[in-house]
Amino acid sequence: MSTDLQTDFPLAVVEEILLNLPAQQVIRVCRLVCHEWKELVDSAALWKERCRREGLLPCNPSRPPANWWMFYFLAKKQRNLLKNPSAEEEFHGWEIVENDGDCWAIDTSQKTIPNNIGTKYFVTSYELCLKQQLINLEEEGYSSAFMDQLQPDIKITDWYAARCDCGSQYEICVELLDQKGEVISTFQPEKVFFQQWNTGLWSEMTHVFKDYGPGVRFIRFTHGGMDTQYWAGWYGIRVTNSSVEICPAAER
């Protein structure tokens, strides 16, 4: 086949072929065919059209991605990296760090929790209760080179609420760790305290790690709290729908 593909095949035809091939094959194989194909694969237009066809759209259309191919691959891989975030599988996937009072428990709300996240939640007792997950980014498909070169946004979310009839305390700590387990960056806001006879409404805790530098290999997510009135049973803070996502940096 001639390398002058502008003569052999119109670029519009080549583009349509590339749009129908697996994205990894386009990057690893098709990009190496010739100069014209490389320019086409590297073009924003190709990946923007691929995103459009697959329904991968920026959250804010007025702030399009600076790099459409990176946006495409991150959006395709985006998912919650935490296991069992909403207590559907009891405590599977979680390591119990602190289990004081009457220990952690699982309960069900009579009302739907906001954001359509079901009705189950983890609930703490009197004295401190903490649970934790350690995410291995390599095992989740995010290579060292990928994390170091692209440094994609890492979005943290967590839903928490107090019982309306009991005071409680909520806390969260999320750490980005290197290969040796040393901390590179930490999100640890001040503890949230609820008085007795509060609204009992659910709140969302959010944070986005940006520009954290090279070396991130693990994410350690820890949260929990306690009932501050020391009532026997499970009157402490409630948590559910926790999330850790590697996000497209479209809105930077």
**Which amino acid is present at 82?**
L
| Domain stops at, among 76, 108, 132 | 76
Question: Model-level pTM?
Answer: 0.81
Beta bridge partners of residue 203, listed in sequence order: 160
Q: Does 240 lie in the same domain as 155?
A: yes
252 falls within a domain:
no
> Tens-of-pLDDT digits for all 252 residues of the chain?
444 444 466 888 888 989 999 888 888 898 888 888 899 999 999 999 998 998 888 877 777 888 888 888 888 888 999 999 999 999 999 999 999 999 999 998 766 676 666 789 999 999 999 999 999 999 998 999 989 988 999 999 999 999 999 999 999 999 999 999 999 999 999 999 999 999 889 999 999 999 999 999 999 999 999 999 999 999 999 999 999 999 876 444
Q: Does 221 lie in the same domain as 154?
A: yes
Tell me the C-alpha to C-alpha distance, in Å, between residue 157 and each of 12, 51, 112, 143, 166: 42, 25, 18, 23, 24
Q: Does 134 lie in the same domain as 29?
A: no
Tell me the C-alpha to C-alpha distance, in Å, between residue 63 and each of 51, 67, 75: 15, 12, 16
Q: Which two tokens stand for residue 47?
A: 């990946």
pLDDT at 110: 65
Q: Does 202 lie in the same domain as 120?
A: yes
3-state secondary structure of 75: helix
Sign of torsion over alpha carbons 71, 74, 75, 80: negative
3-state secondary structure of 228: coil
pLDDT at 3: 45
116 falls within a domain:
yes
228 falls within a domain:
yes
Domain that holds residue 113: 95-247
CATH of the domain at 35: 1.20.1280.50
90 falls within a domain:
no
pLDDT at 115: 66
Beta bridge partners of residue 173, listed in sequence order: 222
Q: Does 176 lie in the same domain as 140?
A: yes
Tell me the C-alpha to C-alpha distance, in Å, between residue 12 and each of 5, 7, 49, 209: 11, 12, 12, 39
Q: Look-up: residue for tokens 């891989």?
A: 77
Q: Does 207 lie in the same domain as 178?
A: yes
pLDDT at 91: 97
- What is the C-alpha separation between 1 and 73, in angstroms, rounded? 30
- What is the C-alpha separation between 23 and 27, in angstroms, rounded? 6
206 falls within a domain:
yes
Helix axes 35-42, 11-19, angle to 10 degrees: 60
How many independent structural domains does the chain possess?
2
82 falls within a domain:
no
83 falls within a domain:
no
| Domain stops at, among 48, 76, 104 | 76
Q: Does 163 lie in the same domain as 110?
A: yes
CATH of the domain at 211: 2.60.120.260
Structure confidence by residue, pLDDT tens digits, 234-250: 999 999 999 999 987 64
| Domain stops at, among 25, 42, 76 | 76
- With beta carbons less than 8 A apart as the criterion, state whether 220 and 209 touch: no
CA 74 to chain centre: 11
Q: Does 175 lie in the same domain as 203?
A: yes
pLDDT at 247: 84
- With beta carbons less than 8 A apart as the criterion, state whether 154 and 174 touch: no
Q: Look-up: residue for tokens 């190709």?
A: 46
Q: Does 148 lie in the same domain as 69?
A: no
- What is the C-alpha separation between 72 and 184, in angstroms, rounded? 27
Q: Does 212 lie in the same domain as 177?
A: yes
48 falls within a domain:
yes
Q: Which two tokens stand for residue 145?
A: 């080179």
Q: Does 112 lie in the same domain as 70?
A: no
Q: Does 239 lie in the same domain as 152?
A: yes
